């Protein structure tokens, strides 16, 4: 290829997967020997330059889910461009890196116990519990544990949940600390998988289903952690930052946007984060519970557990499509959180000398860069979006009628195979995917890859209904037939007013 030349960029090479740039010696100034890369008009990553002024990146998959990419190198993020116009590059293929569930996997089979330790901050607790009740589906229990909160508003707040089916409220007679309280919940969970959920969080649509799918995607994944607006290394799109959510969307709409567009290329890290951490029961049985003696108030206990699991051959994943809002520091306050974090890190460094280096290296994996880029692009587009994200409904009968409250999709068969269509509000439709092959495999993949939330049977034939209903049940989707809605009800009812 022969890109347009500017003095700062001497050469660019592309082989269908790897991009190599050679930059003039005066293009960047030491010690910041790096260039930035924009993809399709949005920052993707920084690339370090070697002593010869050469930087390169291998595209492990197509971050936009298509072959063509517009690539523009810059002197720095948001800095001067090194070319007058982006390079138009074609990848070898359009694979988006999705880690799909193996056909037949039942992501909804395990029972899950959601453990919420509580200490003061009643407004946050109320918001957290309300969101869990509103958005949780499948086999789940809710275990709420008050760690002897001094705030007098906590007791009557939790009293509302006593006796609610599927909900257990426990109370420590004296303050036992976060980690011991979390362990009490893990023990009360019995043989169930566990989600540790901070009481200063808010969950959105399909949050637990998304975590289930990540863990079910591979047998060696011990934990899955949601992404957040404010959770350190798990913040998106800018890690270690407090990220503003799009002003044009509600939190639930933003969570649905990530569900639909963040992709299924789950980044792997040496650790999870206890603000919203799914823990597979088999890993808990193999590794044991959290170390309450070394981390009595938290801040390091989940990292230590993850390192013990990693030493036993387990992996830890980031659930990119699951956004959980996190207030942070409400129970302890910012100053004490910093002190507790410092103390916890001291223990982690002594036990796991390579921990920080391993985390630092994996934070900038290609999968993580692609996730952040997808969210960055999504948030930038929110202000120009004509409408907020809506649930995606797939019709099996080939009909193209528009549902007012949903984004309507349609599955249609033809002489050369199957087509997946998206129906616009004006009735005009576009083909999203088409392929030949067994419909059960195509449908299984498309339901995941395109974030379908509900399936409407309509008057589809009996064989297609059977295949679709089985897939919907295993993936945690709503299922409806004429005159009735079946499967996948909410896990919990509402507390008394």
Q: Which CATH class is domain 9-90?
A: mainly beta
Coil, helix or strand at residue 71: strand
Tokens of 327: 């207030």
Residue spans in the chain of domains classed CATH 2.60.40.10: 9-90
Largest CA distance in the chain: 73
pTM above 0.75, yes or no: yes
Local confidence pLDDT in tens for the 497 residues of the chain: 444 444 478 899 999 999 999 998 766 666 568 999 999 999 999 999 998 889 999 999 999 999 999 999 999 999 999 999 999 999 999 999 999 999 999 999 999 999 999 999 999 999 999 999 999 999 999 999 999 999 999 999 999 999 999 999 999 999 999 999 999 999 999 999 999 999 999 999 999 999 999 999 999 999 999 999 999 999 999 999 999 999 999 999 999 999 999 999 999 999 999 999 999 999 999 999 999 999 998 889 999 999 999 999 999 999 999 999 999 766 566 677 777 778 889 999 999 999 999 999 999 999 999 999 999 999 999 988 778 999 999 999 877 677 778 999 999 998 889 999 999 888 788 999 999 999 999 999 999 999 999 999 888 999 999 999 999 999 999 998 754 444 568 999 999 87
Residue spans in the chain of domains classed CATH 3.90.550.10: 112-382
Residue spans in the chain of domains classed CATH 3.30.420: 392-486
Residue 485 pLDDT: 47
Residue 397 pLDDT: 85
CATH 1.10.1060 fits 392-486, yes or no: no
CATH 2.60.34.10 fits 112-382, yes or no: no
Do 211 and 323 touch, CB atoms closer than 8 A? no
Strands 454-456 and 478-481: parallel
Residue 417 dihedral angles phi and psi, to the nearest 5°:
135, -145
Residue 169 pLDDT: 99
- Give the whole-angstrom CA distance, residue 361 versus residue 252: 32
Residue 487 pLDDT: 54
Residue 229 pLDDT: 98
The C-alpha angle with vertex 213 and arms to 208 and 216, in degrees rounded to 5, equals: 125
What region does 166 belong to: left with phi over 0, alpha with psi -120 to 50, or beta? Answer: left
Residue 340 pLDDT: 77
């Amino acid at each position: 290829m022969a890109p347009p030349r500017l003095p700062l960029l001497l050469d660019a090479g592309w082989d269908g997967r790897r991009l190599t740039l050679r930059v003039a010696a005066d293009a960047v100034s030491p010690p910041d020997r790096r260039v930035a890369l924009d993809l399709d008009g949005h920052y993707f990553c920084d690339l370090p330059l070697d002593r010869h002024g050469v930087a390169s990146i291998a595209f492990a998959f197509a971050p936009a889910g298509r072959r063509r990419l517009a690539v523009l190198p810059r002197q720095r993020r948001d800095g001067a461009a090194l070319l007058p116009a982006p390079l138009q590059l074609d990848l070898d293929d359009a694979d988006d890196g999705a880690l799909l569930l193996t056909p037949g996997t039942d992501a909804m089979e395990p029972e899950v116990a959601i453990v919420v330790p509580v200490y003061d901050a009643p407004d946050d607790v109320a918001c957290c519990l309300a969101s869990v009740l509103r958005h949780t589906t499948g086999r789940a229990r809710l275990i709420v544990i008050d760690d002897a909160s001094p705030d007098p508003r906590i007791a009557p707040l939790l009293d509302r949940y006593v006796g609610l089916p599927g909900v257990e409220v426990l109370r420590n007679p004296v303050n036992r600390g976060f980690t011991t309280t979390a362990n009490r919940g893990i023990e009360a969970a019995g043989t169930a998988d566990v989600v540790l959920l901070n009481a200063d969080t808010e969950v959105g649509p399909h949050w637990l289903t998304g975590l289930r799918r990540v863990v079910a995607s591979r047998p060696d994944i011990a934990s899955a952690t949601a992404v957040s607006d404010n959770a350190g290394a798990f913040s998106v799109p800018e890690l270690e930052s407090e990220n503003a959510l799009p002003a044009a969307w509600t939190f639930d709409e933003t969570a649905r946007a990530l569900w639909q567009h963040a992709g299924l290329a789950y980044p792997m890290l040496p650790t999870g984060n206890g603000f919203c951490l799914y823990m597979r029961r088999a890993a808990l049985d193999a590794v044991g519970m959290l170390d309450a003696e070394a981390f009595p108030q938290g801040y390091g206990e989940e990292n230590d557990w993850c390192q013990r699991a990693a030493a036993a051959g387990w992996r830890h994943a980031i659930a990119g499509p699951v956004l959980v809002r996190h207030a942070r520091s409400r129970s302890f306050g910012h100053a004490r959180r910093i002190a507790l974090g410092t103390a916890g890190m001291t223990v982690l460094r002594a036990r796991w000398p390579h921990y920080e280096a391993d985390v630092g290296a994996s934070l900038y994996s290609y999968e993580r860069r692609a996730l952040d880029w997808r969210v960055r692009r999504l948030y930038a587009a929110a202000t120009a979006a004509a409408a907020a994200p809506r649930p995606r409904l797939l019709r099996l009968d080939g009909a193209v009628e528009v549902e007012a409250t949903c984004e309507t999709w349609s599955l249609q068969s033809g002489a050369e195979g199957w087509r997946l269509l998206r129906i616009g509000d004006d009735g005009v439709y576009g083909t999203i995917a088409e392929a030949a092959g067994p419909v059960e495999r195509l449908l299984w993949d498309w339901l995941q890859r395109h974030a379908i939330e509900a399936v409407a049977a309509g008057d589809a034939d009996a064989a297609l209904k059977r295949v679709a209903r089985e897939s919907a049940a295993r993936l945690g989707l709503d299922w409806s037939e004429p005159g009735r809605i079946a499967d996948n009800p909410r896990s919990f009812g509402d507390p008394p007013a």
